[in-house]
């Protein structure tokens, strides 16, 4: 069981990071908030959840143990898999998500792509009491401030949306709309906005 991986950050995209330690590069799936925190860093320490299935062995990385605990709570809900949990954690910071669940904000959850009213209610029923037991902090929540020229932002955002399972055509429309309104938007901001539009 891997608890955390600490090493040189050799690759970073909005959906994954590669951390090299002892000559081995670990491909780690991350949420958008983690991408924001790691952007510009050369070293990283991520707390790991191993998702082992018959056809896949995947690592999911988090900035702290509380974020990982929140992820584990989400995937404990019937109908929420690892990718859906990652989309949920990409849409809101851990503290915002804790607040949404604690205050039974169905609208906040249904604003996330792929979360219908029934799923949102299931999350609230299953997690309302458990969510208050984990102390989510804002550690590692750093907004990316480096404005990128619009083309690389568009490409990276579309690639991230494709990896999260969104179709190309609606993704392109959403991203183009965002870039038209906010040309200086960062990849993290564009992805957050696109996730709410799709």
Minimal CA–CA distance to 47: which of 154, 139, 112, 123? 139
Q: 3-state secondary structure string, 163-179?
A: HCCCCHHHHHHHHHHHH
Nearest alpha-carbon partner for 29 in 85, 75, 72, 86 = 86
Does CATH number 1.10.8.10 belong to domain 150-197? yes
Alpha helix ranges (H) inside the chain: 32-38, 65-76, 82-91, 94-102, 106-110, 117-131, 150-163, 168-181, 187-197
pLDDT of the residue at 144: 31
Domain 4-62, CATH among 1.10.12.10, 3.30.1180.20, 1.10.10.10, 2.40.50.140: 2.40.50.140
Residues of the chain with pLDDT under 50: 136-150
Q: What are the structural domain ranges in the chain?
A: 4-62, 66-131, 150-197
CA-based nearest residue to 109, from 195, 23, 176? 195
Q: Does domain 66-131 have CATH number 3.40.50.300?
A: no
Contact call for residues 59 and 48 (beta carbons, < 8 A):
yes
- Predicted pLDDT of residue 19: 97
């Amino acid at each position: 069981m891997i608890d955390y991986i600490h090493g040189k950050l050799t690759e970073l995209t909005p959906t994954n990071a590669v951390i090299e330690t002892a000559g081995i590069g670990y491909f780690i799936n991350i949420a958008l908030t983690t991408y924001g925190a790691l952007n510009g860093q050369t070293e990283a320490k991520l707390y790991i959840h191993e998702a082992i299935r018959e056809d896949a062995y995947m690592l999911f990385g988090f900035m702290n143990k509380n974020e990982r605990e929140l992820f584990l709570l989400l995937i404990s809900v019937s109908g929420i898999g690892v990718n859906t949990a990652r989309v949920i954690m990409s849409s809101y910071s851990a503290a915002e998500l804790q607040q949404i669940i604690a205050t039974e904000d169905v609208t906040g959850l249904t604003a996330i792509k792929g979360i219908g009213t029934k799923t949102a209610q299931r999350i609230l029923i299953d997690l309302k009491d458990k969510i208050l037991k984990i102390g989510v902090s804002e550690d590692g929540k750093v907004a990316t401030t480096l404005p990128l020229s619009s083309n690389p932002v568009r490409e990276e955002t579309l690639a991230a949306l494709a990896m999260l399972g969104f179709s190309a055509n609606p993704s392109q429309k959403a991203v183009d709309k965002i870039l038209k309104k906010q040309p200086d938007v960062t990849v993290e901001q564009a992805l957050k906005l696109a996730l709410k539009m799709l």
